[in-house]
Amino acid sequence: MNTLGYIRVAAASPEVKPADVDFNINEIKNQVAIADKKDVDIILFPELSVTGYTCADLFYQQNILEETEIALQKLALFSLNTNVTIVVGAPLRVKNDIYNCAVVINGGKIIGAVPKTHLPNYNEFYEKRWFSEGSKCNERCYLDSELTFVSRNILFEIAGAKIGIEICEDLWVPVPPSCDMAMAGAEIILNLSATNELAGKHRYLTDLIAQQSARCRCGYVYASAGLGESSTDLVFSGNCIIAENGAILAESPRFSLGPKIEIRDIDIEMIRNDRIKYSTFNDSSNKRYEILKMPSFASEESFNNGELLRYISPHPFTDGDPQQFRERCDEISSIQAWGLAQRLRAIHCKNTVIGISGGLDSTLALLVTVKAYDMLGYDRKGITAITMPGFGTTTRTHSNASVLMQLLGVTMLEIPISKAVELHFKEIGHDPSVHDATYENSQARERTQILMDMANQTGGIVVGTGDLSELALGWCTYNGDQMSMYGVNASVPKTLVKYLVEGYANTTDNPEIRRVLLDIIDTPISPELLPAAADDSIEQKTEDLVGPYELHDFFLHGMLRHSFRPLKIYLLACHAFNGKYDKETIKHWLKTFYRRFFSQQFKRSCMPDGMKVGSVCLSPRGDWRMPSDASSNLWLKEIENI
């Protein structure tokens, strides 16, 4: 495992010739050599890969069993010249039984073997004809002139990670052995398989692997038999699949000639953090496993050299299958709208007040409120949408706000704030030519006062518009836009706000609404609290002041969702944003993120109610609790030392 908590794994499916052990071992060696050059920690081969899966009654032949043991000894000797732990499938004779086993080889030795627990004996499978069930075996037998432990109750510690092994059918049963292995500490599950192809089976298989990796909060490496296996009755395409905590990291092409190998880095640190955070994970652990340890030889500096073998999404809150874009947008906006609808029903209220600026956040909040009213069958006129132009309001944002309110059929009000704020400046003795925090925050608080008073006047509630990214950075005015009576965007980060507004734009039947929404998306993000430029363009751009929101959302996801330390977040950001931001820029804004995140906790400690829509949330009643005066020194010091 490298210093950032990654372990490099390979799933390989070499060409085989059924019963030709020498040929098969040479093909295995070729792929081990490829993996060794890539600094792989573990390489996994298919079920019975030493002999081929389709040998049938040839498994009874004494010479094939003896040649298998000799071949394993040769492979162990070969492993002396590599830094890779090798896991191959082989039939092993133990006393008077033959077991379908996964054999683990490292540093010149056969470390141990795990027999298959569940033997399929239905339809095209009849493994019980040759093999005994793994539950019968808990023996030490002589392989490679040394006693080797053959048992299903063993785990392996490889490169600092705990590894469990199951074989093919073991995954398909109601309670796979990997469940107990994960509960006993296994962080990666290896599955040696010989899954034949059937129409519709492959999608089911990938879903099964992804879900098992999610249920066990583990990495899952799957290597299946392929090229060369007998096609007498079945077809094997050599699936190599690597999953991690519910996500497929790698999947080999099907029905292609030649050997296959997929190599990826699995994040063990992320898996461990998840298991700690989700406290129910260990509640059901009741099996004991013996752990066989072995050294790691893989380079600890491979990531630092820019060779991370996995995709790191620069937009973790929005990246996903483009085909599911509409469905995902609808689901999230429905969660938001349903939360607001439930609140309105609970308090017997049909009136809401919302401030509309022509920016992304208030646009999304208005769209969500309209959707909630439509769910409830309420008249949209019960939504009082107020635009409150001030010193920094531009024609573009004001126009977009007004047009959107009109198109959505809500009650429209315009209440300018400039005169009221100027009077306030006079009363408190503030020079309006000094554009400081008082100048800006007075406007934000004046707008909030108007919204609160209008809510009293209409017998309604104020719908908050502030988003998760602003809460994380404290980019909101305390007791100004920080406050509302229900915050529909409170757990929606800025990158997701843009994504959702785009979703609304792509699904509306009204071309004029679409035009306005797309223009709002293209408008620079700004609180518009400082005067506009001479050409009426936005002068005060938020991302110039606090940094790019896509970086801050990346930092936020790494810190809150995975509890990563600053160094790891920095290195992952350098990888994800390579070519867009240089390292110094990323370091600068990472420091800004941590400094602001710690110093602005007091604003989050008293934030209003608002529904949770994703895995990251800052509600002080739910996902995030920290003292407002906690020190950030530990985190900032690590960033300074990068």
Active-site residues: which are they? 47, 116, 168
Strand partners, 93: 98
What are the φ and ψ backbone dihedral angles of 251, each rounded to 5 degrees? -150, 125
Q: Which of 172, 218, 214, 163 is nearest to 193 (CA)?
A: 172
**Hey, what amino acid is at 133?**
E
What are the φ and ψ backbone dihedral angles of 474, each rounded to 5 degrees? 70, 25
Starting from the edge strand earliest in sequence, which strands make up the sheet with 161-167, in order?
247-251, 240-244, 219-224, 188-193, 161-167, 154-158, 290-293
Q: Which pair of structure tokens corresponds to residue 575?
A: 């990888």
**Hey, what amino acid is at 159?**
A
Residues 6+ apart with CB under 8 A from 472: 493, 552, 556, 593, 596, 597, 600, 618
Q: Classify residue 30 by burial, with Cβ atoms within 10 Å: 0-12, 13-18, 19+.
A: middle
- What is the distance between the alpha carbons of residues 393 and 527, in angstroms, rounded to a whole number? 9
- Do 443 and 423 contact (CB within 8 A), yes or no? no
- What is the distance between the alpha carbons of residues 203 and 231, in angstroms, rounded to a whole number? 22
- What is the distance between the alpha carbons of residues 220 and 118, in angstroms, rounded to a whole number? 18
**Hey, what amino acid is at 49?**
S
Work out the angle between the directed axes of helices 633-640 and 566-576 (0-180°, nearest 10).
Answer: 50
Half-sphere exposure of 434 (CA within 13 A, CB side): 9
* CB neighbourhood size of 235 (10 A): 12
Q: Is 338 helix (H, G, I), strand (E, B) or coil?
A: helix
- Do 102 and 190 contact (CB within 8 A), yes or no? yes
- What is the distance between the alpha carbons of residues 181 and 448, in angstroms, rounded to a whole number? 54
Q: Which pair of structure tokens corresponds to residue 280?
A: 């129910």
Exposure string (b/e) for 529-565, b if CB count within 10 Å is 16 or more? Answer: bbebeeeeebbbebbeebbbbbbbbbbbbbbbbbebb
Residues 6+ apart with CB under 8 A from 451: 353, 354, 355, 386, 462, 484
Q: Which pair of structure tokens corresponds to residue 247?
A: 């996500």
Work out the angle between the directed axes of helices 511-522 and 494-507 (0-180°, nearest 10).
Answer: 160
- What is the distance between the alpha carbons of residues 559 and 12, in angstroms, rounded to a whole number? 34
Strand partners, 266: 7
Q: Are strands 486-487 and 461-464 parallel, antiparallel or unpaired?
A: parallel
Residues 6+ apart with CB under 8 A from 221: 9, 11, 42, 44, 188, 189, 190, 191, 241, 242, 243, 266
Chain centroid to Cα 269, Å, comes to 13
